[in-house]
Amino acid sequence: MKLDKNKIQISIGKNTSKSFYKLQVLFKDHFPENLKTKFSLQTSSGIFTGDYGQTFSDEAEKILYLGLGDSSKIKIRSVAQLFFPFGEKLKKWDGVGLEIHLPKILTTSLPADLLIYQIVNSLEQGAFAINVLSKEFRENSKKTGSVSFILQDAAKAKEAEKGLKRGKVVSRYINGARYIAHLPANHFTPEEFVSRSKEIAKDNGLKITVFDEAQLKKEKMGGILAVCEGSDKKAKMIILEYTPAKPSTKKKLAIIGKGLTFDSGGISIKPAQDMHEMKYDMCGAAAAIHAIGAIAELGLGVPVIAAIGVAENMPDAAALKPGDVYTAHNGITVEVQNTDAEGRLVLGDVLSYVGKKFKPDYMLDLATLTGAIIISLGHEAAGVMSNSEPLTTLLKEASQTSDERIWEMPLWDEYADELKSDIADIRNIASRAGGSLSAAKFLEKFVDSGIAWAHIDIAGAAWRKKGSGTQIGNGPTGYGVRLLVDLAEKIGKKK
């Protein structure tokens, strides 16, 4: 299963397509006098004044105008977002291009590399249609126009080029993660996860190890095995390893992902309403393998391991039952009181395995772990629970530059109180109160001491029912890829 190419051809400089629109970006408070007259004559439905998000198209001159509002209020996020709909349009513009003119004041108020990086990400995400199994998609998939940027401040061209190069790589992996996330469980099975991981490994010269059922048994990974008992699709653990040609640090980063290709809840079955969305329960694993691909392709200097636990959670005569007890990879016994709290069973084993085998300095896990995090944070941020302040700080910095929001939540010991079992070492659920926090405390039991670890609950950030806030389109967001790339870059600068 190959990763798709970029959807749009993007460059710095004049657009060379036969036909293209000029896109003029304008601030409300720096509005050219000549245009004031032009718009007052030409618009019938209100006058274009450069308000944030306002557009005006002059078909005769083939110029589009895009308003950015007040120049003192701009942020990279708010500017980049406006390009998502242009990406959507370009997807239908067979061979027609866009030449985006960026005024000097824009590239002096914001760093040009980050600005271009995020505009490219927005354009590419906008151009990626998620209706991949439809006739419309098949008919449109060969189309798309090209984009070029013209910077009024020519001195910033080099910086812009840097952002463009990075954006091209990262956006391809973001869309790659979105694509596999959006595929339904009958198309994207644990076996398909193996094939996608192999492609990413092949493209980037990564080492790959796939553990099948027999090897998982040999390694005593009781949690992963327990989860897949009810499914005809067998569980896997997939490990990708990136060793930089020229390492810039001695630190090692491990990224772990929850890869439930479907979570029906198992015997503790979920309500029918919205159950189809549980095809997205593999977004953490999708982010992990696509992030390591981007990190390797960018040639970052930090050694990275991506390890994903892949399974399908189904009810069946052979399925795990509430009350069953299994022995996890680290030897502790777990009473499963709710088979829908399955992600922590899978992640527990992978955290334990990776900690012991690779002894990483930093270990992260990304998981659509709890509905409770959506109650806490909605869809605008992922919740971060960590045993390490330095790692939390690094994540906050990476969140700033990558524009993927995180929010710190506590990992206090009291949240583990209710994980006590009267038959086994622990049980897999606590009460509803603080559900994301007891889930994190459960995971912590599988993290070896000395490892700086952070759990990132992406249940809210991983997909949207309808576009909102930072994600304009509906469906999977590819959350985590940009955050992890920036985190890896920051760790690469550590001694």
Among ligand BES, Zn ion, none, the one that 416 touches (CB under a kind-dependent 5 to 8 A) is: none
Bridge-partner residues for 242, per DSSP?
304
Smallest distance, Å, CB 286 to ligand BES? 14
CB atoms within 10 A of CB 420: 12
Using the minimum distance from each CB to Zn ion, give the nearer residue, 259 or 360.
259
Binding site for ligand BES (CB under 6 A): 263, 281, 338, 340-343, 368-372, 429, 435, 459
Smallest distance, Å, CB 181 to ligand BES? 12
Using the minimum distance from each CB to ligand BES, give the nearer residue, 92 or 465.
465
Distances from the Cα of 43 to the Cα of 32, 160, 220, angstroms: 17, 34, 70
> Strand (E) positions, 17-96?
20-26, 55-58, 63-67
Using the minimum distance from each CB to ligand BES, give the nearer residue, 244 or 371.
371
Among ligand BES, Zn ion, none, the one that 370 touches (CB under a kind-dependent 5 to 8 A) is: ligand BES
Establish whether 124 is an annotated binding residue.
no
Q: What is the total residue count of the chain? A: 495
DSSP readout, 350-367?
HHHHHHHHH--SEEEEEE
Binding site for Zn ion (CB under 5 A): 260, 263, 281, 340, 342-343
Using the minimum distance from each CB to ligand BES, give the nearer residue, 216 or 459.
459
Instruction: Please check whether residue 426 is in contact with residue 440, taking contact to mean a CB–CB distance below 8 angstroms.
Output: no
Pairing status of strand 333-335 against strand 426-427: parallel
Smallest distance, Å, CB 335 to Zn ion? 16
Among ligand BES, Zn ion, none, the one that 429 touches (CB under a kind-dependent 5 to 8 A) is: ligand BES
Cα distance between residue 278 and residue 373, in whole Å: 15
Catalytic member of 7, 166, 252, 344: 344
Catalytic member of 162, 270, 357, 494: 270
Among this protein's residues, is 344 annotated catalytic? yes
Establish whether 277 is an annotated binding residue.
no
Smallest distance, Å, CB 263 to Zn ion? 4
CA atoms within a 13 Å half-sphere pointing along the CA-CB vector of 54 = 18
CB atoms within 10 A of CB 157: 17
Using the minimum distance from each CB to ligand BES, give the nearer residue, 227 or 411.
227
Instruction: Please check whether residue 7 is in contact with residue 143, taking contact to mean a CB–CB distance below 8 angstroms.
Output: no
Among Zn ion, ligand BES, none, the one that 338 touches (CB under a kind-dependent 5 to 8 A) is: ligand BES
Structure tokens at 210: 């796939």
Q: What are phi and psi of 238, to 5 degrees?
A: -120, 130
Binding residues: 258, 263, 281, 340, 342
Active-site residues, by number, are 270, 344
